[in-house]
């Protein structure tokens, strides 16, 4: 007689002597294996497979994930999510105590656009709170960029970049610009549009060599290597 097919959540509920809702939390938290493989879907159908509950399993809701990626130059911003995989998680990020779940790599929304030619911090999130914050308040959040330039500078280069320029018919708000060294400018600026930093530099006779975004609000790249990502804990805020 063939074995009865049933939902994984029901099997786990029986196995752990817990409610169906608790069983679903165990499964969605990545604590359940079916024939040795982690399965995160409570609706997964099982028959006579070996179902195991991790002895360290904890009853906690699976929080939606937000990932911070150091995007390489030349990669399209909204396609950069293809770099967010288990293999290129930043070394040491496990110390944040966030467990990697397969569900973290689905339905990621790219936020805070960055030019394809630029490198630096980009955000991918499943969290509706983060998505709403960055979509609604993004233009009000200060971003920091390091811009390598070439060309002849003058005594009024910084003052002209700081205020009085326009882009695509829009007078730009004042921003903060300083020299990091002879060939690198540091911008602290809000509501940056595609191509804006290159155009601003061109207006004062400078050519942009590279652009790297260092910070969005209070969240920075720190020393995260190019092409790697880390989780943003729910306790952190932009």
Give me the pLDDT at residue 230, please. 96
| 118 and 224 fall within a common domain | yes
| 113 and 156 fall within a common domain | no
Q: Please, are residues 194 and 113 in contact by the beta-carbon 8 Å criterion?
A: yes
| 204 and 223 fall within a common domain | no
| 126 and 227 fall within a common domain | yes
Question: Which has the closest alpha carbon to 96: 228, 237, 232?
Answer: 232
| 168 and 202 fall within a common domain | yes
Give Cα separations from 23 to 37, 57, 133, 194 (angstroms): 17, 11, 32, 46
Q: Confirm whether 58 is domain-assigned.
A: no
Give me the pLDDT at residue 1, please. 42
| 194 and 76 fall within a common domain | no
Give me the pLDDT at residue 163, please. 92
Two structure tokens written together for 32: 């359940």
Give me the pLDDT at residue 67, please. 96
Give me the pLDDT at residue 220, please. 96
Q: Please, are residues 142 and 217 in contact by the beta-carbon 8 Å criterion?
A: yes
Helices 8-16, 20-28: crossing angle, 10 deg rounding: 110
Q: Look up the domain containing 191 and give its range.
A: 142-216
Q: Confirm whether 60 is domain-assigned.
A: no
Secondary structure of the chain as H, E, C letters: CCCCCEEHHHHHHHHHCCCHHHHHHHHHCCCEEECCEECCCCCCEECCCCEEECCCCCCCCCCCCEEEEEECCCCCHHHHHHHCCHHHECCCHHHHCCCCCHHHHCCCEEECCCCCCCEEEEEEECCHHHHHHHHHHHHHCCEEEEEEEECCCCCCHHHHHHCCCEECCEECCCCEEEEEECCEEEEEECCCCCCHHHHHHHHCCCEEEEEEEEEECCEECCCCCCCCEEECCCCCCC
Q: Confirm whether 61 is domain-assigned.
A: no
| 173 and 81 fall within a common domain | no
* Cβ contacts of 150 within 8 Å, gap of 6 or more: 183, 206, 207, 209
Residue 102's CATH number = 3.30.70.580
| 77 and 130 fall within a common domain | yes
| 33 and 81 fall within a common domain | no
| 132 and 37 fall within a common domain | no
Q: What is the pLDDT along the chain (238 residues), one digit of tens a residue?
A: 456 899 999 999 999 999 999 999 898 888 999 999 999 889 999 999 999 999 989 898 878 999 999 999 999 999 888 999 999 999 989 888 788 999 999 899 999 999 999 999 999 999 999 999 999 999 999 999 999 999 988 889 999 999 989 999 999 999 999 999 999 999 999 999 999 999 999 999 999 999 999 999 999 999 999 999 999 998 899 9
| 225 and 113 fall within a common domain | yes
Q: Confirm whether 23 is domain-assigned.
A: yes
Q: Please, are residues 67 and 34 in contact by the beta-carbon 8 Å criterion?
A: no
Q: Confirm whether 198 is domain-assigned.
A: yes
| 204 and 224 fall within a common domain | no
Q: Confirm whether 1 is domain-assigned.
A: no
Number of structural domains in the chain: 3
Two structure tokens written together for 122: 């980009």
Q: Confirm whether 237 is domain-assigned.
A: no
Residue 179's CATH number = 3.30.70.1560
Q: Confirm whether 59 is domain-assigned.
A: no
Specify the pTM.
0.86
Query: Please, how many CA atoms are within 13 Å of residue 36, restricted to the half-sphere of its CB?
Result: 0
Two structure tokens written together for 124: 């991918």
Residue 13's CATH number = 3.10.290.10
């Amino acid at each position: 007689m063939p074995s009865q097919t049933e939902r994984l959540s029901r099997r786990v509920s029986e196995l752990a002597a817990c409610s169906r809702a608790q069983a679903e939390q165990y499964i969605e938290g990545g604590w359940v294996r079916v024939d040795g493989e982690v399965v995160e879907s409570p609706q997964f159908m099982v028959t006579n497979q070996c179902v195991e509950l991790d002895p360290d399993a904890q009853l906690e809701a699976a929080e939606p994930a937000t990932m911070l990626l150091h995007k390489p130059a030349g990669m399209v911003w909204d396609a950069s999510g293809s770099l967010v995989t288990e293999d290129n998680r930043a070394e040491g990020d496990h110390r944040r105590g966030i467990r990697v779940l397969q569900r973290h790599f689905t339905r990621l929304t790219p936020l805070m656009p960055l030019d394809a030619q630029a490198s630096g911090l980009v955000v991918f999130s499943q969290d509706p709170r983060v998505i709403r914050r960055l979509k609604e308040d993004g233009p009000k959040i200060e971003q920091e960029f390091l811009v390598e330039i070439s060309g002849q500078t003058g005594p009024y280069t910084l003052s002209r970049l700081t205020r009085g320029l326009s882009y695509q018919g829009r007078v730009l708000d004042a921003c903060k610009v300083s020299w990091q060294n002879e060939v690198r400018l540091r911008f602290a600026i809000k509501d940056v549009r595609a191509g804006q930093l290159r155009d601003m530099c061109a207006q004062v006779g400078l050519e942009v060599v590279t652009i790297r975004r260092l910070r969005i609000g209070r969240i920075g790249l720190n020393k995260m290597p190019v092409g790697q990502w880390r989780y943003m804990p729910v306790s952190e805020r932009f």
